[in-house]
Amino acid sequence: MLSGLGLTAPFYIIAFLAGGAAVLASFYVKDTKHVRQFEKPPAINWFKERVVPFLGMSTLVILSITGVQQIMAFLIQDRFHLDVAETTKQVGFAMMTMSCFSILVQMILVPRFQFGVITLIFTGTSIGISAQLAFIFLDSYAGVLFAMGLFGTGVGFLFTGIVTAQTLLVKDDQQSRLASMNASMQGLGAALGPVALASLYQVGQLVPFFALMFGLLLILSIFSYCKSKLGYTF
């Protein structure tokens, strides 16, 4: 939507927001304790850690988010036959809808009701699958916004559940390294998502949504297997 002010307007606004964040951080974020570690911590073989399936889930969730963001412009333009300017505007509304619902879940609903990991992951995957069905069967623009709202809600629940599960599965002295590893896996998902879903979109307009539905079912299956067969407790 900001591109309506000019092609470079979004970049100036992003720079302004980043600068504002830096100023706020300099005033309000203070280190209360400095820790010097004299002994090198033992190396972690992440492939042997119980948290590995959930690192993979993080990758799939971020892949889904970035992939949907990539193909949404194609979907809206192809489905409603819009020009470039109108497509940009409508995509902006769709992205805003997804983000608002995701923020609503993560900042209000989850802290307010204190859902457990099992509830978060089952709720997130169920709503995420419903979102893919909405993308497939609802042809109107209102249907697209509804699907994006469902998708944002689903990933809000799901990603919160996955990250919470990760923190419960490692020791306290491994938390910072887990956060770094998780960020790396998210980066991998962010890199693969646009390429993967854009490639699937070339096969068919609805193929990416069937693929995302399969990915969500895979996440649910892995979580159920870890919980029932491997004895994971949360």
Q: Return the CATH number at 103.
A: 1.20.1250.20
How many domains does the structure of the chain reveal?
Answer: 1
Query: Does a structural domain hold residue 62?
Result: yes
Domain assignment of residue 211, yes or no? yes
How far apart CA 130 and CA 137 sit, in angstroms, is 11
Amino acid at 161: G
The pLDDT value recorded for residue 154 is 97
Q: What is the pLDDT of residues 147-187, one digit of tens each?
A: 999 999 999 999 999 999 999 998 888 888 899 999 999 99
The amino acid at residue 124 is G
Whether 11 is covered by a domain: the verdict is no
The mean pLDDT of 10-17, rounded to a whole number, is 72
The CA radius of gyration of the chain, in Å to the nearest whole number, is 20
Which pLDDT does position 38 carry in this prediction? Answer: 54
Kindly state whether residue 23 falls inside one of the protein's structural domains.
no
pLDDT(7) > 60: no
Q: Is residue 80 part of a domain?
A: yes
For residue 97, pLDDT beyond 60: yes
Residue 8 lies in a domain: no
pTM: 0.84
Q: Which domain holds residue 87?
A: 51-228
User: Does residue 107 fall inside a structural domain?
Assistant: yes
Residue 211 and residue 64 in contact, taking contact as beta carbons nearer than 8 Å: no
